[in-house]
Amino acid sequence: MMDRERVRVLPADPDNPSTWSPPSVSGVSPPVETRDQLLPLGCPSWEDFECLCLRLLELNTDPVHVSNARLYGVRGQAQHGIDMYARTRPALGQTPSERCYVSLQARRIKNVTPKAVSDAVEAFLKGEWQKVSQKFIYATSASANPTGLADEIEQQTTRLSGEGIVFEVWDQDAISRKLKVVIGVIKAG
């Protein structure tokens, strides 16, 4: 507790009416109750998680605008390191590039490891889609925040950049943020 002798009360400012009396506490709102910030992405089936990622790919790949987002293959087929793709649309006045696709691999898992990210990039680079993709997205229902994982993501970002490909990781945090701003994908409530 402060020593009352040391506390100095400032006099009211005669030119400022708000200092003439103590503040009213009747207008103070109670504390805000926040909702969970992370969506439970491990709850839907892997098929639902893939569909969610496909919908986000259609709606939320700024600054690249896409069309014709589609799932690639069915269970049991070789998919060349991707689960879905979308064709990019060139901006007005630009000619289409050879790399006119965004490719995405979706993984609904409890934990993601640095090796899982490295293996995903390796499978993508060995597949056919790396030749025509300008962006590769690794989407996971798990968090990608641990430092070892973040370091691996940066290594793979550099690796793909050397191939002329942008690398993004959509983890639980990123997907939750994206869904909060995309109207119509989830219902707030």
CATH for 95: 3.40.1350
Among the listed residues 36, 38, 34, 35, the one whose alpha carbon sits nearest the alpha carbon of residue 175: 38
112 part of a folded domain: yes
pLDDT at 181: 75
Total structural domains within the chain: 1
The DSSP symbol for 75 reads T
In a domain, 75, yes or no: yes
State how far the alpha carbon of 162 is from the alpha carbons of 85, 148, 152, 156, in Å. 21, 22, 15, 10
Q: What is the mean pLDDT of the chain?
A: 79
- 17, part of any domain: no
177, pLDDT greater than 80 = yes
How high is the pLDDT of residue 60? 61
Cα 79 to Cα 183: distance, rounded to the nearest angstrom: 31
Residue 14 domain flag: no
Would residue 138 count as lying in a domain?
yes
Asked, for residue 76, whether it belongs to a domain, the answer is yes
**Higher-confidence residue: 180 or 72?**
72
Please, what is the end-to-end C-alpha distance for the chain in angstroms?
43
Tokens of 74: 């069915």
Question: Span 8-20, mean pLDDT?
Answer: 62
Q: What is the pLDDT of residue 39?
A: 63
pLDDT at position 108, please? 87
Q: Is residue 24 part of a domain?
A: no
Question: Residue 177 is part of which domain span?
Answer: 46-181
Instruction: Say if 12 falls within a structural domain.
Output: no
Q: Answer whether residue 161 shows pLDDT above 80.
A: yes
C-alpha dihedral, 122 to 80 to 72 to 160, nearest 10° = 30
